Amino acid sequence: MKRYAYFPGCASESTAKSATLANEFVFGRIGIDLVEIEDWNCCGATSAHTLSSALGLALPARPLARAEADWPELDVVTGCASCYARLKLANHRVRADKSERYMVEKIIGKPYEAKREVLNFLDILSDPAARANIGAALLRRFKNLKAACYYGCLNVRPAEITGAENRENPMAMDEIAALTGAEPVEWGFKTECCGAAHQNDAALEARPLAGRILDNARACGADVILTACPMCQLNLEMRQGEYIRKREEKRTGKARFPLLDMVLPPDPEQAIPVLSITELLAVAMGAGGRRLALDAHFVPVGRLIAGALGGRESEAIL
């Protein structure tokens, strides 16, 4: 059994509910043991470093130092691209620059040598042993399921920090998805930015970023978008109804009161479900819909699963 120190990230406790349940299920099935870092704190995400560079390093360094003290032999893994970027950057800078290490240790009040690696879920699922275990754990096979794998920017960039070889057309998630029978599509927005927190603070300017990703996935024939980050997931899913409504308003010239989005789900003909890669794996490994809280998705996934698994089997899930 392979073990990692686990940094869940704040979204795991709220909006990323179904992805978190799927993570537990999948890693349990493939013999990967995630040891949660004791009393971990928020990494600062996209906000802390925009205010203060010292804070942008110190916040992620604290849980890393804690992991290093408690589990010196374990690499750290996280399921969020933003956490990954911050943790990995802190690790990198502390290693590369003695004065940064001095600063970080002074601020967090703990020794921190950055001895171990920071990894994301795609890294640990792509490990050959893990991939063989995934293959052995699959109970269901998807048919006619075209998937657009969306990596998000911070899982691959900046290259000098992440070490990603291909930042324009990464393939790790495509290869994992293909194990379940899903057919990854070729598309252009694998690592385009979803807008991250700017979907909140610069909504007008950032909406097209998510919209272009959704449009390109549809244009390339995808039935589902797969994600490896709860922030990407939320931006592509929660605001999809609004995006479709605005697009329709533009097309037809008829406006609708925005809060009607509350009661009217996005048009199923136009909406595209968004799942995390671990949710796809969990369903293929036999997890039920209730166990994964699949009904928590903003864009309903029932039709997608029924289409990809056939009637009887999908009934067992939903």
Partner 1 sequence: MTDHETLARLMADADVRQYDCYQCGKCSGGCPMADAMDLKPRGVMRCAQIGSLGRILNSNTIWLCTGCGACADRCPHDVNVPALIEEARYEAARRGLGRHDSEVLNKAFVANIKAFGRNHEMLLAGLYNVLALKPIQDMASVPHMLKKNLIGIKPNRIGATREIAELIERAEKWDDPMVATGRSQTPEVKK
Chain residues 247-286 in contact with partner 1, contact rule CB under 8 A: 258-262
User: What whole-number distance in Å separates Cα of residue 281 and Cα of residue 102?
Assistant: 42
Among 87, 206, 282, 304, binds partner 1 (CB under 8 A): 206
Q: What helix, strand, coil percent values describe the chain, rounded to 5?
A: 55, 10, 35
Token duo for residue 8: 């869940």
d(CA 62, CA 266): 41
**Cβ proximity to partner 1, 198 vs 218, nearer residue:** 198
Looking only at residues 133 through 192 of this chain, which bind partner 1 when binding is defined by CB under 8 A? 153-154, 157-159, 167, 191-192
> Which C-beta is closer to partner 1: that of 195 or that of 273?
195
| 132 touches partner 1 by CB under 8 A | no
**Contact call for residue 51 and partner 1 (CB under 8 A):** yes
- Judge contact between 310 and 303, C-beta under 8 A: no
125 lies in the site for partner 1, by CB under 8 A: no
202 contributes a contact to partner 1 by CB under 8 A: yes
Cα–Cα distance list, 157 to 77, 97, 168, 287 (Å): 17, 20, 10, 32
Which of residues 177 and 206 has its CB atom nearest to partner 1 in the complex? 206
Interacting residue with partner 1 among 33, 70, 186, 201 (CB under 8 A): 201
44 binds partner 1 (CB under 8 A): yes
Give, as one character, the DSSP assignment of residue 6.
E
Compare residues 81 and 182 and give the one whose CB is closer to partner 1: 81
Q: Give CA–CA dist 28/23, Å, rounded.
A: 8
106 in contact with partner 1 (CB under 8 A):
yes
Residue 148's nearest CA partner among 228, 237, 225, 227 is 225
Q: Among 200, 219, 268, 290, which residue sits at the site for partner 1 (rule: CB under 8 A)?
A: 200
CB-CB contact of 16 with 275 (8 Å): no
Burial class of residue 139 (count of CB atoms within 10 Å of its CB; 0-12, 13-18, 19+)? exposed
In the complex with partner 1, which residue's Cβ is closer, 125 or 154? 154
Cβ 87 to partner 1 shortest distance, Å: 15
Number of residues that bind partner 1 (CB under 8 A): 72
